[in-house]
C-alpha cells in the first residue's frame, strides 16, 4: 500500500497542473502586482505556490499547512528559495505578522469558523491588502458517462466536509462576510476545466484515481479501477468541473485612483 502522504502529494501536483493555466488570469490585477508579502493559507505541498513564485519572483511567500506530512514535504522540496512553510493553522503566526495578499485556494469551504478567521484576517491585513479566494463551483460539475462507484465515494467525501463544520458552497456568502471586515468585492471569474482541453483528460483520469486511492487506499478495488480505466479509454467520455475566483480589496472605497485595481 502506498504511503498516504505520497498519494496526497501526487494528487495536489496533478490538480495544480490542470487548473493553474486556467486560474492565471486571476493574477492579472495591479493589486497582485503591487503586493510583495503573500500568505498562502492551506498550501498543501506548496506546489501551487512554487508555480506562482516561478512566475512572480518578486513575491515573498509565507505558506501555512496543518497537515504535518505535507508541510514537511514542502519545506524539504523548496528550502532556500524564498518560500517559507509553517506547520499549523493561521494562529501559528506571530502577533505582528502582516500580509499584502492572502491566497485562499480550496480552503474557505473547510473553515469551521469563518467568522473567527476573518477577524484574524482583519487584524493582520495591510491597509491595502488583497484577498483571492479560489474554490469549487459544483454547479458546473458534469461527467459522462456516469461513474456510479467513483461518484458514490465522492458524494460521501463532500457530505463529510459539511458534517465536519465546513461548507461546500461558499461563493454566495463570502462577499457579505468580507464586507463586514472592510474588504470590497472587486471581481469574480468563473472557471470551467474540461476534458477537451489538451492533456486534461489524461490528468483528470489520474486525479480521479488519486482521489479514490486517498479515500480507499491502494490498490483500488477491481470494479472501481475498471470503471475509471474504461472511462479514460472511451473517446466519448467527458468531464467538466467548475471553480470560481473572487478578488477582494481592503478599504477600496478610500482609494482616490481606483484604476490601480483594474485589469492590466
Q: By the 8 A CB rule, do 112 and 164 touch?
A: yes
Position 91 scores a pLDDT of 86
Q: pTM here?
A: 0.92
Name the residue among 123, 109, 116, 118 with its Cα closest to residue 42. 109
Position 146 scores a pLDDT of 95
- Strand 183-194 relative to strand 238-250: parallel, antiparallel, unpaired? antiparallel
- Determine the topology of domain 4-138+167-193+240-252 in CATH: Rossmann fold (3.40.50)
Distance (Å, rounded) from C-alpha 183 to C-alpha 177? 9
Position 76 scores a pLDDT of 95
Position 126 scores a pLDDT of 94
**pLDDT tens-digit profile of 59-94?**
999 999 999 999 999 999 999 898 999 999 998 887
- Residue 138 dihedral angles phi and psi, to the nearest 5°: -65, -15
Distance (Å, rounded) from C-alpha 205 to C-alpha 211? 10
List the pLDDT tens digit at each of the 264 positions of the chain.
789 999 999 999 999 999 999 999 999 988 999 899 999 999 999 999 999 999 999 999 999 999 999 999 999 999 989 899 999 999 888 788 999 999 999 999 889 899 999 999 999 999 989 999 999 998 999 999 999 999 998 877 667 656 566 677 788 899 999 999 999 999 999 999 999 999 899 999 999 999 999 988 889 999 999 999 999 999 999 999 999 999 999 977 665 555 555 544
**pLDDT tens-digit profile of 25-50?**
999 988 999 899 999 999 999 999 99
> What is the 3-state secondary structure of the chain?
CCCHHHHHHHHHHHHHHHHHHHHHHHHCEHHHHCCCEEEEECCCCCHHHHHHHHHCCCCEEEEEECCHHHHHHHHHHHCCCCEEEEECCHHHCCCCCCEEEEEEECCHHHCCCHHHHHHHHHHHEEEEEEEEEEEEEEEEEEEECCCHHHHHHHHHHHHHHHHCCCCCCCCCCHHHHHHCCCEEEEEEEEEEEECCCCCHHHHHHHHHHHHHHHHHCCCCCHHHHHHHHHHHHCCCCEEEEEEEEEEEEECHHHCCCHHHHCEC
- Residue 190 dihedral angles phi and psi, to the nearest 5°: -95, 135
Cell numbers describing residue 48: 501551487
Position 2 scores a pLDDT of 83
CA angle 255, 256, 260 (to 5 degrees): 70
Where does residue 60 rank: exposed (0-12), middle (13-18), buried (19+ CB within 10 A)?
middle
Position 249 scores a pLDDT of 94
**Bond before 219 cis per omega within 30 degrees:** yes
Cell 471586515 locates to 181
Position 112 scores a pLDDT of 85
Cell 469551504 locates to 109
Position 263 scores a pLDDT of 47
Position 264 scores a pLDDT of 43
Amino acid at each position: 500500500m502506498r504511503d498516504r502522504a505520497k498519494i496526497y502529494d501526487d494528487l495536489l501536483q496533478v490538480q495544480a497542473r490542470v487548473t493553474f493555466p486556467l486560474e492565471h488570469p486571476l493574477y492579472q490585477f495591479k493589486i497582485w502586482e503591487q503586493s510583495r508579502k503573500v500568505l498562502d493559507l492551506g498550501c498543501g505541498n506548496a506546489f501551487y505556490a512554487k508555480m506562482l513564485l516561478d512566475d512572480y519572483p518578486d513575491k515573498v511567500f509565507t505558506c501555512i499547512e496543518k497537515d504535518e506530512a505535507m508541510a514537511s514535504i514542502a519545506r524539504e522540496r523548496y528550502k532556500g528559495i524564498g518560500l517559507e512553510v509553517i506547520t499549523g493553522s493561521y494562529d501559528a503566526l506571530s502577533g505582528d505578522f502582516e500580509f499584502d495578499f492572502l491566497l485562499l485556494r480550496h480552503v474557505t469551504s473547510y473553515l469551521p469558523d469563518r467568522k473567527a478567521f476573518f477577524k484574524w484576517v482583519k487584524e493582520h491585513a495591510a491597509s491595502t491588502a488583497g484577498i483571492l479566494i479560489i474554490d469549487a463551483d459544483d454547479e458546473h460539475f458534469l461527467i459522462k458517462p456516469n461513474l456510479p462507484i467513483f461518484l458514490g465515494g465522492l458524494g460521501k467525501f463532500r457530505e463529510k466536509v459539511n458534517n465536519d463544520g465546513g461548507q461546500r458552497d461558499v461563493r454566495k456568502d463570502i462577499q457579505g462576510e468580507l464586507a463586514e471586515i472592510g474588504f470590497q468585492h472587486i471581481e469574480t471569474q468563473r472557471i470551467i476545466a474540461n476534458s477537451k482541453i489538451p492533456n486534461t483528460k489524461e490528468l483528470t483520469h489520474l486525479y480521479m484515481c488519486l482521489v479514490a486511492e486517498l479515500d480507499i487506499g491502494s490498490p483500488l478495488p477491481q470494479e472501481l479501477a475498471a470503471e475509471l480505466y474504461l472511462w479514460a479509454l472511451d473517446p466519448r467520455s467527458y468531464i467538466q468541473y467548475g471553480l470560481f475566483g473572487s478578488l477582494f480589496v481592503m478599504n477600496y472605497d478610500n482609494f482616490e485612483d481606483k484604476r490601480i485595481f483594474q485589469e492590466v
